[in-house]
Structure 1
Amino acid sequence: MTTADDPALTGLAARLRGLRPSLGPVRLIGVDGHAGSGKTTLSAALSRALGGAPVVHLDDLACHASLFGWTGRLDRQVLRPLGRGEPAPYQVYDWERRGYIHSSVVKPAPVVLLEGVGAGRRAVRPFLACLIWLRVDRETAWARGQRRDGAALDPFWASWKRAELRHLAEDPSAPFADILLEPHGGTFRILERQTRGPAPGG
């Protein structure tokens, strides 16, 4: 079985569709976890299960100089337009060229996924319909991420680990997660289900 036909994700997608909108017409879903835990893979699978729900990657909003200093940019360029029911054009950081030289647009779909370390931080939680924490211990997740990125990025990973530890100590997400997911044999297992309730009549 692959994530494409994972019944846990199919059921989760149906539940997310039934939540109350949290940001104008949008149900904003946070997907958080340690770097390398599989958030991008999970978000892609959930997007497919949701019929092509847009995904905003927090890596696109962060930068070398401020790994977790993206909340103002997220608010101005993504949250406020979506809250008005408008398309949200936002700048995308190029990690090789070290500049915001690209752009993207997210439309106010019924469900929008926000993925990345810090998606469940306190400044973002009021706008979320649901927060998912991908439960992979940090050492395992980091090892996966470093294997994926190769030895050339080891210096970056050293600085990233310090920044992630500091961020999650000061502003943790996992204790506030509505749903915990754990990778399991190529799919995902729901360990806890505490979503904030269906929409009226849902």
Structure 2
Amino acid sequence: MAKNDKILEHQNVNGVMLSLKVDGRNSSPKSRQFTISYATNKEKKATWPMTSLCIAILVNILALSYVRISLTILAVIIIVLSFLIFFWVTHSVQSEILLVIPTVGIQSSVKYVVGREDYFVPWSSIDDVIINEVIKMSRVLYFLTLLVKGNCESNQEYESTKLIPLFKYTKPRLVMLESIYSELQELLTEQIDGAGDTGDN
């Protein structure tokens, strides 16, 4: 049984309304699931790529019925349209989910129209969580980023740090990221303090 709280709605960097939900499970009170998805009342605006794709297909069908073209060109048009439909179905992001289970790990998931992609980081490999500032195309973007410990391949004595950006497809604004960041830091520090107390005893 999960307790579901919608805690924040805000626009992302592209002006699309996002909804942040935090799920805390009764069976594991320390675990958290952060879900960022497109707000239900704004989903129609997010479906404009599908509408434009349908219009493009209809226009091409009408053009084919009135214009005489060779079979080679017709085959190329069909292949391109098929590729566009396949790309839209497999790469249209619906939501991004971050599941945090202290002492076990953090799983980042991207849910597409068809299927999902998961990435898991063990708890022992997590060094810290930061909000990273990135300048892209004359815009300042913020990403919630995991700092993950890993051994250098060339020299095993030194550890390298890997950066794993989270919520990179939905692109929430800083307000939403700060809300997630504060809870993640609380979970991380609780585990560090708990491990320190156990070591003292």
**Which band: TM-score by shorter chain?**
under 0.3
Which protein has the bigger strand share?
A: 2
Larger radius of gyration: 2
- More relative contact order, 1 or 2 (CA 8 Å, 6+ apart): 1
Scaled by the length of structure 1, the TM-score of the pair is 0.23
